[in-house]
Amino acid sequence: MKLTALKRRLDLTTPFRVSFGEISGMDVVAVALDGGGVTGRGEACPMPMFGHTAEAVLHDLASVAPDIEAGLIDRIELQRRLPAGPARNALDCAFWDHEAKQSGRSIWELTGLKAVDTLDSDVTIGIETPEETARLARTHRHAGMIKLKLGGAHDMACVRAVRETLPATRLFVDVNGGWTLDQLNALAPELAALDVFMIEQPLPRGEDEQIDGYVGSVPLCADESCQDRGDLGRLQGRYAFANIKLDKTGGLTEALALAREARARGMRLMVGCMMGSGLAMAPAYVLGTLCEVVDLDVTLLLKNPADASVRHDGRRLTGFSRDLWG
């Protein structure tokens, strides 16, 4: 098995604002595993907010490359050799892809999941002025679900702008840890009145114990606070939903295990993503078949249409081909 890794830049058509800053594009790392006449591929997006960089990912990959090429590391051993994070994600997904192609079995057969042709997915609106939020909402009249980023200067005005424009569309908000507990408790009743069905990551990661003081009725979702199965004991009873992302779990292997354990603990499931091309969206799509909320709309934002190989039509995703992955 030969391992190669390449850093490249993915740019967005327009900058996207969230509570921790503005994003115009990000570096991703693509991995290829060549062996037995087939190539398995994976892709990861290092997030600086978690202390990850493309250079660190490339370093981590280089550290295990000799043992991979010597046949000492397979997908199962990889879970022990690298921590959860983007480097393991890229490799884990490449192992899944390689196994599927070498065995002639699809990713659906390997995981035991039911293949689906389409997945309903949300469309995300970033932090904007209320006027711009309303304009963007009008462009998404056919969306089945909207995610609205909050944590800015005009949060409730923006929520009202969406709800007035799209009175019947399912709506949830994502704060990316940008509020305090006082803000959460003050705004939750207003969000409930506007038929917001979920608040994602209201408080910063590491402040989950404060959720014990939440008195609102809108269910909460853990995103940055939910990395892998080791977090579930801290999240259970505080959050109704777990947002599972492959770059956090370190690949599809842990993501599937996390999904099943979270569900066994009574938590509801959401799949999300960092930046990524269709190569990253394909394994996330597989995970999405287990999830109630699918947040995989990044391909709508990418500048290069060639990167959007898992298609999103503004309401749903269309399943990927085996030429791409799995």
- Residues serving a catalytic function are 149, 245
- Residue located via tokens 């690298």: 82
Tokens describing residue 153 = 């200067």
d(CA 163, CA 99) in angstroms, rounded, equals: 46
Supply the DSSP string of 4-47, one letter for each residue: EEEEEEEEEEEEEEETTEEEEEEEEEEEEEEETTEEEEEEE---
- The helix or strand, by DSSP H or E, that contains position 220, with its residue range, turns out to be strand 220-222
Residues contacting residue 37 through CB under 8 Å, at least 6 positions apart: 102
Tokens describing residue 95 = 């192992």
Tokens describing residue 251 = 């690949």
Q: Are 298 and 273 in contact (CB under 8 A)?
A: yes
- Identify residue 241 by its one-letter amino acid code: F
**What 3-state class would DSSP assign to 270?**
strand
The residue among 154, 208, 152, 148 whose CA lies nearest residue 172 is 148
d(CA 271, CA 292) in angstroms, rounded, equals: 8
